Amino acid sequence: MFGLGSITGSNSAVFDPENDIPSLAGKVILITGGSSGLGKQSLIYLARKKPSEIWFTSRTRSEAEETCKDIREHAPDTTIKPLTLDLGSFKSIRSAAQLLLSQINRLDILMLNAGVMGIAPGLTKDGYEIQFGINYLGHALLTKLLLPILKATANEDHAVRVVILSSYSHWNAPGGGIQFQHLKTTAEQIPTLQRYAQSKLANILLARQLAKEHPEVTFVAVHPGAADTDLQAGVTGIGLVERILNATLNRFLLYQPVETVAKHQVWAATTIKELVNGEYYDPLGLPGKRRPEATDEDLMNRLCNWTEEELKAFSTLES
């Protein structure tokens, strides 16, 4: 269904961040989950191109301070600013969005990078299956709150991008793609990596829906590649076959270093190539290799309507 290169990100050699990212002068950027892994590496690549401001979210002040220190070593002249955010809390998301909007007058790149994978059953603070709540629903709310400034920026500069991290693992979503009846439970009857997969399928559908509703902004979902990050190390509650697969991937070096894998999401955020709005891209820049449910209009509309209903109490900023 897809080639090895599209899974691992091994064809990322075609993109050289140092030479292929254009100047980001005057741009304002926000990356969720910027304190480690792919998010932090994306910060490094983008900060070197001297945007006006580059913001990143983290869960704790100590993580943020350490990240700022590290980024300044790579790009000492960059204005980098942390934003405390818990994607498992609608209240935290709204507060973070409100603070950000009080500090910026434009937003050129929004990279929805943060996420969890294969963790133990649980609920977000608002009562949603934890992987779906963090990976999809929290990002959907954040994007909704930032849409006005994204669209205003797009009126001045048509190169506004929202990059939503998905995964080739969306192929592993349960039957029907999304099990709506279990989204407000711990969904323990669904294997942990299938719960992860349905959240990543939802991210692809989110990009398609937003592109349809707001064509002035470019929304894309990307599978960056299989990265050797803390996300892989945190996988728990998986069966023997999945453990063997993970061990095999590690042994044969199919998990690539973050320096390689982060190139794809940075490419999607900065390439001068015109992207297909609402598309899903495998690395590097390969479109269209999606599970059939990822292009299902009925499923997309159902997810959109469900999401609107769940987020309506938090969809406007507090006065």
Closest CA to 221 of 199, 243, 241: 199
183, two tokens: 């989204």
Residue 196 catalytic?
yes
Q: Which of 220, 193, 228, 239 is nearest to 109 (CA)?
A: 220
| 8 Å CB contact between 100 and 83 | yes
Active site residue 125: no
Active-site entry in 40, 144, 200, 263: 200
Q: Are 39 and 46 in contact (CB under 8 A)?
A: no
**3-state class (DSSP) for residue 39:** helix
Tokens linked to 9: 């990100």
Q: Where are the alpha helices (DSSP H) in the chain?
A: 4-8, 17-20, 37-47, 61-74, 90-103, 130-132, 139-156, 192-213, 230-233, 240-251, 258-270, 297-311
User: Which residue among the candidates 45, 128, 168, 196 is catalytic per the annotation?
Assistant: 196
Asked whether 285 and 167 are in contact (CB, 8 A), the reply is no
**Sign of the torsion formed by the C-alpha atoms of 105, 165, 289 and 133:** negative
The region, left, alpha or beta by phi > 0 then psi within -120 to 50, assigned to residue 20 is alpha
* Residue-level length of the chain: 319
For residues 259 and 22, give the distance between their C-alpha atoms in angstroms, rounded to a whole number: 18
Residues involved in catalysis = 196, 200
